[in-house]
Amino acid sequence: MKVVEKFTSINGEGTRAGELAVFVRFKGCNLRCSYCDTMWANEPDCPYEEETPEEILNYVLGTGIRNVTLTGGEPLLQKDIRELIHLLLQAGLQVEIETNGAVDLSAFCEERPVFTMDYKLPSSGCEEYMITENMELLGKDDTVKFVCGSKKDLLKALDMIQTYNLTNRCHVYLSPVFGSIEPVQIVEFMLKHRLNGVRLQIQMHKVIWDPNERGV
Ligand SMILES: C[S@@+](CC[C@H](N)C(=O)[O-])C[C@H]1O[C@@H](n2cnc3c(N)ncnc32)[C@H](O)[C@@H]1O
Ligand SMILES: Nc1nc2[nH]cc(C(=O)O)c2c(=O)[nH]1
Ligand code: SF4
Ligand SMILES: [Mg+2]
């Protein structure tokens, strides 16, 4: 598996935000979002370590931390990702996958990690690649995250939340594209549309550390 970084931190996003977590970031992505904060990991010449699922499991176990986030890049494109998920779950770890909404989740639903799935909005430039059938596969422990950079993005997120009845299906987060929309604009939008059951999320690691810092 192509690993570009592994580190321990607090999870800055998602339902376990604020809890300790181990991160494994994989190389490569099938999208190119306008705002991507880890584009470096997607570049063909990005250095990586080739690691087996067993080696990754041993690293994770060695940290003594029980939450594991697999991210990237797009983690679900790694050839051995199912084997890795299997090993981590078997070890009793809490496994979260950050995925981009452009990979069919049906292949990953037997042995079930927690999915934090983006729905890429218009300002990402990648909305056309969204597999909306994935919405039907999500359950109460999963999350749909809308990373919003504009008013148009917010309106599209509202439309998707209503169309797929998302707040009754899973967790729903609105998160600003870091630095390009004021969080207060999202709060005002939530108030205006009475978005009960939806949460604003700010990436905590970008507040705690330099926003461009890697490995945190
Ligand atoms: C870097 S991606 C990796 C996982 C997967 N490729 C995806 O897009 O979900 C992890 C999360 O960071 C979010 N993200 C990336 N760049 C961001 C930015 N500039 N501001 C806020 N969130 C960002 C993505 O939308 C995604 O939810
Ligand atoms: N601290 C911290 N929390 C995170 N949660 C999701 C991350 C990601 O890049 O997917 C991330 C990250 O890069 N750092
Ligand atoms: S899908 Fe994720 S990793 Fe890929 S370009 Fe978009 S934000 Fe970056
Ligand atoms: Mg990140």
ipTM of the complex: 0.98
Per the structure, the count of domains in the chain is 1
pLDDT on residue 130: 98
38 labeled binding residue: yes
Is 202 a residue whose pLDDT tops 90?
Answer: yes
- Flag whether 95 is in a domain: yes
- Flag whether 214 is in a domain: no
151 confidence band (pLDDT: 50, 70, 90): very high
Ligand 3 close to Cβ of residue 32 (< 6 A): yes
pLDDT on residue 110: 87
What contacts 132, CB < 8 A, 6 or more positions away? Answer: 164
109 labeled binding residue: no
Ligand 1 close to Cβ of residue 27 (< 6 A): no
Q: What pLDDT, in 10s, does the model give residues 47-66?
A: 999 999 999 999 999 999 99
Residue 12 phi, psi (nearest 5): -90, -5
- Flag whether 213 is in a domain: no
Domain containing 49 equals: 2-208
Q: What pLDDT, in 10s, does the model give residues 160-198?
A: 999 999 999 999 999 999 999 999 999 999 999 999 999
Ligand 3 close to Cβ of residue 33 (< 6 A): yes
48 labeled binding residue: no
- Flag whether 163 is in a domain: yes
CATH at residue 39: 3.20.20.70
User: How far apart are the CA of 36 and the centre of ligand 4, in A?
Assistant: 9
Spatial separation of the C-alpha atoms in residues 193 and 162, rounded to whole Å: 11
